A and B are shown apart, each in its own frame.
Chain A
Amino acid sequence: MSAQTAGPETLGSLSTEPDPQDPTSQQAKEIAGKSPMRIALGRLARDKIAVVCALVVLFFIICAVFAGPISSLFGVSLDTPLASERVDGLNNGLPKPEMGPPNGPFTWEHPMGVAPRTGQDNLAYWLHGCRVSLLIATVAAVFASVVGVVVGLLSGFLGGAVDKVLSFFIDMFLTIPFLLAALTLAPILNERFNTSDNYGTIQKISLICVLALFGWMGTARLIRGEVLSLREREFVQAARVMGMPTRRILFKELLPNLAAPIIISISLMLPAFVALEAGLAFLGIGVTDGVSWGQMILDAASPVYFRDYPQYLWQPMVGVVALVLSLNLLGDAIRDALDPKTRR
C-alpha cells in the first residue's frame, strides 16, 4: 500500500532543500528517510516569522491553560470584594490612585490596573478572557473541521447525486453572511435557554455551534477538491479491487493523505474564530457574562473611559490583535511549509 509515500502535494520540490554536503547520492539518501511532515516541520523551523509567531501563540496558550495559577501567582482573582474600595465614584468611576494607572503609579497588587466602575482586576479578567477566546475558537475549529472533512470526503469520493446535494449545501451556506446569521440566531438561542441557571455555559455552547455551523464550508471545499484527484490514484484503485469497504477506503486510505489540507484549514480557521468571538462579544451577542476580551473592549471603548484610561482598552485589544495576527501569519507559514507550490 503506497498510502504513506503518496501525496505529491505534501512532498513538494525537494531540490529547494539546502544541503551543505553536495553529493547527490547522499542527498537522496537523506531525503528518503524523512516523512513529508518532518520536511514541513524543518521548513517551519527555518522560517523566522513562523518561529516568532509560534512563540507568541504558545504564550497565549500558556496564559489560557494556566489562567487560574497565574492569577493567584500575581495575587489577583476574578472576585471583586467591593467596587467602591477600588474605584472613585465621583470621578466617573475611574480607579482610585492606589490601584495603579491612570491616576496612580504602577502597583504589583494590580499589575494591569482595575476596571473602571466595577473595580474588577484587569489581569485576572484578561487571562480568563484569553482562556474563553482560545477555548471557543479551538473547539469550534475542531467541530467545523470534522463536519467539513466528512462532507468533503463523502462529496468528493461518492460523486453523483450525493456530490450534487452536498455541493448545493456548501454553496448555500457560503452565500449566508456570518454576522447576519449570528445576529438572527442569537435572540432565538437566548430566548430558548433564557431560564437556565448556567446561562454562561449555554451561551458558549451556542456560540461554538454558530461558529461551527458557518465555518465548515471552506474545509469541505478544500477536501472535496483533494479527494477528487486522490480517488483516481492507484492505491485507491488497488484498495477497491481488494474489496475494501468504502468506509475503510475513506478513513484508512484517503484520510491520512489529507493531513496537510486539514492542518492548513484548521490553522486558518483559528484566527478567524478568535476575531469573531471577540467581535460578537463586542456587539453584545456573543459571550455576555463579562469574562471575554470582546466585552472588555466594549466596556473600554466608551468615550468617557477612553479619554482618561486608554490602557484599559489597549490590554484586550493587544491580546486580540497579537493572537489573531500571529495565528494568521503562522497559518500562512504552515500552508507554505506543507504546500510549497503556493509559496509567494
Chain B
Amino acid sequence: MFAYVVKRLISGVLVVTLVSMAIFLLFWYGPSSPAQPICDRETSNRCGNKIEIYEKTLGYNNPVHEEYAKFVKGVFVGRTLTIASNDYECSAPCLGVSFRTKEPVKEELLSRVPATFSVAIGGAFLYLLFGIPIGVAAARRRGSVADKALVSSFLFISSIPYYLFALLTWLYLTVTFEIPLFSNTGYFSPITEGPWAWFSGLFLAWVALGIFGCTQYTRFTRGAMVEALSEDYIRTAKAKGLPSRTIVYKHGLRAALVPVVTIFGIDFGTLLAGTIFTERIFEIQGIGWWSLQAVQGMDLPVVQATAIFSAVILIISNLLVDIVYSVLDPRVRLS
C-alpha cells in the first residue's frame, strides 16, 4: 500500500511539472507577442514601438527555459517582476502579476478560492444526496411505472444544456418571482457577513447544480444496484431471512457504491477546478468567473495562473481518487 502511494505521488509531481511546462509554453509561443495585451492596455492602444520595452522588461527576449526557471523559482521563493519601468514585488508562491490590477495574482486567487470551493462542495454534496437514494429506490422498483417515468424524465433533464437549465432557474426564481430566499445570489463571506447570507447566496446555485448533476448519479447508482441485487450473495442473504433494508443497504449498496465513488471523485475535482457557468450565471465571485473576466480583458498572467491552479487541483483529485479506489478495491493496486 505504502509503495503504491509513493509511486502515485511521484508520478503526480511529474505530471504537475509537465503540465505547468505545457501551459507556460502555450502562453509563451501561442500569442503573436505575449507583451501585446499589456502594452495596448498601458498605452491605450497606441503601442507601436513601445512593445520592445515591454518585451524586454517582461523577459520575452530571453530563452524560454531561462524564463521558465525564473517562474519556478518565483513559485518557491518569490521574485520581483518588472513591467516597463515599474517594479512589482511578488512574494513566495508567485504566479505572476495581473496586467489589469498590477497586484500579485496569488492574492486574488486565494481570495476567490472560498467561493468556488463553497459552490463545488455544496453542489457535489447534493449530487450524492439526491442521486444515490433516488437511484437505489429506482433499482428496487425496477421495471415499474415510477422507475420508467424517473429514468425518462432524468434523461430529458440531462439532455438540456446545463447552462440553460441554470439560467432559467436563476431568471425565474430570482428576477421574475423574486423569491426572498433566492433574491440575492452571490458569494458572501460566512465570517464577515454571517452564515445566513453565505447560505442564501449560494443555495440556488447548489440546487441547480445538484439537480442537474444528480441525474447522472441516479443512472449510475441504478445501474450498479440492479447489477448488485442480481448477485448470488444477495440471494443468499435473502435465503438467510435478513430484513430487506439490510440486504439493500448493507450488502447491495456497499458493492454498488465503489464505481459511483470513483466517478464522484473525478466530478468533484472538476468542480473544484472551476464552476464557470454556475459562477457566471449566479454572479458568484469565484475562480471561474474571474478567469472568464481575465479572458475578456486579455489578462494573460491571470488566465495562466488559473489554468495551472485548475490543472494542479485536477491532478491532486485524480491522485486521491486512485488512492481511495485502491483502498476500496485492493485488486487495483495489485495489478
Contacts and interface: CB of A to CB of B under 8 A. Distances in A.
Contacts of B94: none
Interface stretch (B114-122, B209-217, B239-247, B268-276): B268-276
Given A179-B274, A313-B171, A324-B161, A186 B310 contact: no
A290 to B, nearest CB: 16
Given A187-B298, A307-B175, A192 B273 contact: no
Given A177-B314, A190-B298, A191-B37, A324 B160 contact: yes
Interface in A185-207: 185-192, 194
A279 B318 contact: no
Contacts, number: 102
A320 B32 contact: no
Interface stretch (B23-31, B55-63, B73-81, B130-138): B23-31
Interface residues of B, number: 40
Contacts of A183: 274, 276, 291-292, 295, 303, 307
Interface string A135-163: 00000000000000000000000000000
A83 interface: no
Contact of A177 (B30, B171, B273): B273
Interface residues of A, number: 38
Contacts of B270: 177
Which one of B161, B163, B273, B274 has the highest number of Cβ atoms from chain A below 10 Å of its Cβ?
Answer: B161
Contacts of B314: 175, 177
A283 B26 CA distance: 22
Given A184-B23, A192-B32, A317-B164, A329 B159 contact: yes
Contacts of B20: none
B221 interface: no
Contacts of B300: 187, 191
Contacts of B31: 187-188, 191-192
Contact of A284 (B32, B161, B296, B304): B296
Secondary structure of the A contact surface, majority rule: helix
Interface in A293-344: 297, 301, 303, 306-307, 310, 313, 317, 320-321, 324-325, 328-329, 344
A275 interface: yes
A320 B163 CA distance: 11
B277 interface: yes
Given A177-B270, A179-B274, A324-B159, A187 B295 contact: yes
Nearest to A275: B161
A175 B318 contact: yes
B318 A191 contact: no
A283 B281 CA distance: 10
A185 B29 CA distance: 12
Nearest to B167: A301
Interface of A: 175, 177, 179-180, 183-192, 194, 271, 275, 278-279, 282-285, 297, 301, 303, 306-307, 310, 313, 317, 320-321, 324-325, 328-329, 344
Interface of B: 23, 26-27, 30-32, 36-37, 151, 156, 159-161, 163-164, 167-168, 171, 175-176, 270, 273-274, 276-277, 280, 291-292, 294-296, 298, 300, 303-304, 307, 310-311, 314, 318
9 contacts: A177-B314, A179-B276, A183-B274, A183-B303, A187-B298, A188-B26, A191-B36, A194-B32, A306-B175
